[in-house]
């Protein structure tokens, strides 16, 4: 089993593809996780301009590159997020509007289009975000209404209706998951129709940001197969969630893998919430690091991926504010090639003594 090594192009969105593609090929990358919404990949042109994909494919082939997955993180974020200027700054211009309701609907349609574009180019996965209407309630103060543990959500809804109360106001967290279900199920229908999987990058500000919230998100969708995860250990490690446990818990839902590192740098004065300090500040309690320079145990991650027979791309997502990105892209490729190894499938090592 030889897993291709790719790199997501989003962090190089300012670099024209005719410059980026040959540079990444020269480093050794097998392919690119193309970021939608940039010059690297345009969803609408792929679907509606007949010459677009043949030209893009020829450009990839020119440098010996393939595309196993598309990334549309910023648009996916707009589906369940509370829309503000931050969203409008990162989504394509034709999705921007002064009406937040229109923005999320446009983003939802764009995600359906992304599934169709992925199917057209032969990519089996779209990685991305979902957004979350309840991330701001992470810390429950002022107290956030939730159903008591000794009462099911269905029982609480029935009681609220009988008493003439709004059932959506009895449990704001559950209501957020219900909104996720309502908005994403139609999108996932399009993914099913196209034979493409959606891989949520479990990440702060998303409906699923750790192990238990990921489990809840799956439950809300009744475990439908179109929805799984883009495993990225960097977002788990600083929360002190074990990335290997995440792989083993969701062994049949790891649809894509991001190779990205992070380091805790707690010194007694800072904390894991980041203190509103920008990435790159040495005062932060944690930050992303180039591969092999943080606290993620990639040795155990590779072993866990082998155990679940994951054979998809290992896609570098390079983010290290204090390092040159071209240097980081090269050293990250070399690190992945060094750390990855195939699974033993047919030899019991100590049984060989008998021979």
Sequence ranges of the domains in the chain: 5-138+171-354
How buried is residue 94: exposed, middle or buried, by Cβ count under 10 Å (0-12/13-18/19+)?
A: exposed
CA dist 103 and 95 (Å) reads 6
Q: How many residues does the chain have?
A: 355
Per DSSP, helices labelled H in 195-238 are 211-220, 234-237
pLDDT for 4 equals 98
DSSP one-letter string for 77-137: HHHHS---HHHHHHS-GGG--S-HHHHHHHHHHHHHHHHHHHHHHT--EEEE----SSGGG
Report the relative pairing of strands 261-264 and 254-259 from DSSP bridges: unpaired
Please, are residues 234 and 315 in contact by the beta-carbon 8 Å criterion?
A: no
Q: pLDDT (tens digit, 9 = 90+) per residue, 7-29? A: 999 999 999 999 999 999 999 99
Domain at 5-138+171-354, CATH from 1.10.490.10, 3.40.50.300, 3.20.20.150, 3.40.630.30? 3.20.20.150
Q: pLDDT (tens digit, 9 = 90+) per residue, 63-96? A: 999 999 999 999 999 999 999 999 999 999 999 9
What does each of the 355 residues of the chain score in pLDDT, given as a tens digit?
589 999 999 999 999 999 999 999 999 999 999 999 999 999 999 999 999 999 999 999 999 999 999 999 999 999 999 999 999 999 999 999 999 999 999 999 999 999 999 999 999 999 999 999 999 999 989 989 888 766 677 787 787 788 888 766 788 999 999 999 999 999 999 999 999 999 999 999 999 999 999 999 999 999 999 999 999 999 999 999 999 999 999 999 999 999 999 999 999 999 999 999 999 999 999 999 999 999 999 999 999 999 999 999 999 999 999 999 999 999 999 999 999 999 988 777 776 666 6
Read off φ and ψ for residue 191, nearest 5 degrees: -65, -45
CA dist 60 and 72 (Å) reads 19
Alpha carbons within 13 A on the beta-carbon side of 109: 9
pTM: predicted TM-score of the whole model, two decimal places: 0.94
């Amino acid at each position: 089993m030889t897993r291709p090594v790719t790199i997501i192009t989003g962090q190089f969105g300012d670099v024209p593809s005719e410059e980026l593609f040959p540079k990444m090929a020269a480093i050794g990358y097998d392919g690119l996780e193309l970021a939608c919404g940039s010059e690297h990949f345009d969803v609408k042109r792929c679907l509606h301009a007949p010459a677009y994909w043949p030209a893009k494919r020829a450009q990839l082939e020119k440098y010996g590159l393939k595309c196993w997955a598309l990334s549309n993180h910023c648009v996916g974020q707009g589906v369940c997020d509370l829309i503000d200027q931050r969203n409008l700054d990162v989504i394509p211009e034709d999705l921007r509007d002064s009406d937040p309701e229109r923005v999320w609907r446009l983003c939802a349609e764009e995600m359906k289009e992304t599934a169709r574009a992925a199917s057209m180019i032969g990519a089996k996965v779209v990685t991305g975000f979902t957004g979350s209407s309840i991330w701001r309630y992470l810390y429950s103060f002022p107290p956030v209404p939730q159903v008591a543990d000794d009462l099911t959500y269905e029982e609480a809804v029935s009681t609220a209706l009988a008493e003439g109360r709004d059932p959506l106001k009895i449990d704001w967290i559950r209501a957020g998951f219900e909104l996720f279900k309502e908005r994403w199920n139609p999108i996932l229908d399009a993914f099913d129709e196209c034979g493409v999987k959606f891989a949520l990058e479990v990440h702060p500000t998303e409906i699923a940001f750790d192990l238990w919230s990921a489990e809840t998100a799956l439950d809300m969708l009744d475990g439908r197969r179109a929805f799984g995860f883009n495993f990225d250990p960097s977002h788990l490690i600083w929360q002190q969630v074990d990335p290997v446990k995440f792989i083993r818990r969701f062994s049949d839902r790891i649809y894509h893998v991001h190779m990205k590192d992070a380091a805790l740098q707690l010194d007694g004065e800072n904390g894991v919430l980041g203190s509103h300090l920008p990435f790159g500040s040495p005062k932060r309690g944690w930050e992303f690091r180039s591969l092999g320079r943080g606290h993620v145990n990639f040795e155990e991650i590779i072993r866990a991926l082998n155990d679940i027979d994951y054979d998809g791309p290992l896609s570098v997502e390079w983010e290290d504010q204090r390092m040159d990105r071209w240097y980081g892209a090269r050293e990250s490729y070399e690190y992945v090639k060094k750390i990855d190894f195939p699974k033993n499938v047919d030899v019991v090592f100590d049984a060989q003594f008998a021979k």
